[in-house]
């Protein structure tokens, strides 16, 4: 099938599943779409009892979609910018201390803890894996997914200051997590290369620092251009061009594209700059355009996550390992969050049991799967992809459906 045909098919399926969910199931959109996509793939798998034509065609279509490229190189820039654009910068500034600690220190600690435990656990289960490969798994599963978190938190009724911490962390730890993953990936891909600690540090600083500076630059240029005119059609196009061109520029400069998009979105979405650069009409059109794009891409993404199960390999011991590592990942996240919480809890107003709520409300999503799929066969790709998928599905369905109940329980304690 051509690219246009595949895109058309995905949008048709997403629209149909979204209608069924809204009309009958009334689940949170992302969760409902993924569940229906998984049920759909189950039906396709069962169809082989009668004919394998449908199954083979479906496998060929899904297999032709490069999930990693679709998400990391195409969707992610739009989704992160849209999420940041509608996030209040004053709220982020007020919580900047814990957010930055969660997104940096928290991700590093979680990567090390999960990777270390996974290394010993998987080898004990006769699933050989090197320590570096286990750390790669820790890096890709540690960041929470802003795409999964944003929509569900809005429906869960989380207190504003808690929602800001979770959303802010998820926006930034995504970029940091990708940088850590890429650094470890480079080490794993060149085991014989002489790569020093200073080289790794320089790479990390270049990715993160470059991404932040580029985001500020892109945000300012976009703000200046929008301020100098009053034409909502052109201004919408300017924001779209900034996201597409900016992400491409970040990739060519080896800067963090995700961080650049988050910073640019926060810069442009700031209320003060909105008022000075956009008329009320322009602001309405810009917001509606990015809201629509956000909803559409989210729908396609979670349908894709559900359909991916059709082409993944799930051996019995892979499934068992994934199930065991679910509580491991949750406990490690709780421990990683505890340090920053202890540092800031006496200085800032924290919701009771913040660590517990952030652990359960920090969902893993498509980014983890995309990073796992980018691994080479020599990096234990099949094992890591299977385990990652199991943890992500549990996170989105079980945690996503119970976040609201956990919040109510905490309020009642």
CB atoms within 10 A of CB 154: 12
Tens-digit pLDDT profile for residues 300-337: 999 999 999 999 888 889 999 999 999 999 999 999 99
Which phi and psi (to 5°) does residue 102 adopt?
-60, -45
Asked if residue 91 lies in contact with residue 116, where contact means CB atoms within 8 angstroms, the answer is no
Stated as kind and residue range, the H or E segment containing 159 is none
How many CA within 13 A on the CB side of residue 367? 28
C-alpha–C-alpha distance, residues 322 and 338, integer Å:
24
Going by pLDDT thresholds of 50, 70 and 90, the confidence category of residue 151 is low
Which phi and psi (to 5°) does residue 353 adopt?
60, 40
Task: Give pLDDT, residue 155.
Answer: 67
Going by pLDDT thresholds of 50, 70 and 90, the confidence category of residue 361 is confident
What domains can be seen in the chain, in order of their start residue? 3-63 (no CATH), 67-412 (1.20.1530.20)
Strands (E), 168-255: none
CB atoms within 10 A of CB 353: 17
Asked if residue 298 lies in contact with residue 147, where contact means CB atoms within 8 angstroms, the answer is yes
C-alpha–C-alpha distance, residues 77 and 71, integer Å:
9
How many CA within 13 A on the CB side of residue 51? 4
Tens-digit pLDDT profile for residues 160-215: 778 788 888 888 988 888 889 988 998 888 776 666 677 778 888 889 899 999 99
Please provide the distance, in angstroms rounded to a whole number, between the alpha carbons at the two ends of the chain: 55
Q: What mean pLDDT do residues 19-25 have?
A: 95
For the ranges 34-48, 114-128, 136-150, 183-197, the lowest mean pLDDT is seen at 183-197
Q: What mean pLDDT do residues 5-26 have?
A: 94
| Residue in 413, 346, 299 with CA at minimum distance from that of residue 29 | 299
C-alpha–C-alpha distance, residues 40 and 37, integer Å:
5
């Amino acid at each position: 099938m051509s690219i246009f045909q595949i895109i058309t098919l995905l949008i048709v399926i997403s629209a149909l599943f979204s209608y069924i969910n809204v009309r009958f199931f009334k689940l949170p959109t992302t969760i409902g779409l993924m569940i229906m996509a998984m049920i759909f793939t189950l039906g396709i798998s069962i169809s082989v009892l009668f004919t394998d034509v449908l199954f083979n065609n479906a496998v060929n279509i899904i297999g032709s979609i490069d999930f990693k490229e679709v998400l990391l190189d195409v969707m992610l820039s739009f989704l992160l910018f849209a999420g940041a654009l509608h996030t209040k910068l004053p709220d982020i500034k007020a919580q900047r201390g814990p957010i930055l600690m969660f997104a940096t220190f928290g991700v590093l600690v979680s990567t090390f803890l999960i990777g270390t435990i996974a290394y010993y656990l998987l080898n004990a289960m006769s699933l050989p894996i090197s320590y570096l490969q286990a750390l790669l798994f820790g890096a890709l599963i540690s960041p929470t997914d802003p795409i999964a978190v944003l929509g569900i938190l809005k429906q869960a009724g989380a207190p504003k200051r808690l929602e800001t911490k979770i959303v802010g962390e998820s926006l930034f730890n995504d970029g940091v997590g990708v940088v850590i993953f890429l650094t470890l990936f480079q080490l794993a891909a060149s085991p014989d290369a002489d790569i020093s600690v200073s080289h790794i540090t320089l790479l990390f600083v270049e990715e993160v620092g470059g991404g932040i500076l580029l985001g500020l630059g892109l945000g300012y240029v976009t703000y200046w251009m929008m301020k100098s005119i009053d034409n909502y059609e052109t201004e919408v196009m300017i924001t779209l061009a900034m996201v597409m061109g900016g992400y491409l520029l970040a990739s060519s400069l080896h800067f963090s594209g995700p961080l650049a998009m988050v910073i640019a979105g926060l810069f442009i979405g700031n209320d003060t700059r909105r008022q000075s650069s956009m008329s009320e009409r322009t602001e309405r059109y810009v917001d509606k355009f990015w809201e629509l794009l956000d909803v559409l891409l989210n729908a396609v993404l979670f349908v894709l996550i559900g359909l991916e199960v059709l082409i993944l390999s799930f051996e019995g011991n892979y499934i068992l390992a994934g199930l065991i590592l679910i509580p491991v990942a949750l406990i490690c996240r709780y421990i990683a969050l505890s340090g920053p919480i202890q540092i800031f809890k006496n200085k800032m107003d924290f919701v009771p049991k913040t660590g517990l709520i952030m652990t359960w409300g920090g969902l893993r999503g498509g980014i983890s799967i995309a990073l796992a799929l980018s691994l080479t066969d020599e990096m234990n790709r099949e094992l890591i992809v299977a385990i990652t998928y199991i943890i992500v599905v549990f996170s989105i369905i079980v945690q996503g459906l119970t976040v609201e109940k956990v919040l109510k329980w905490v309020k009642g304690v």
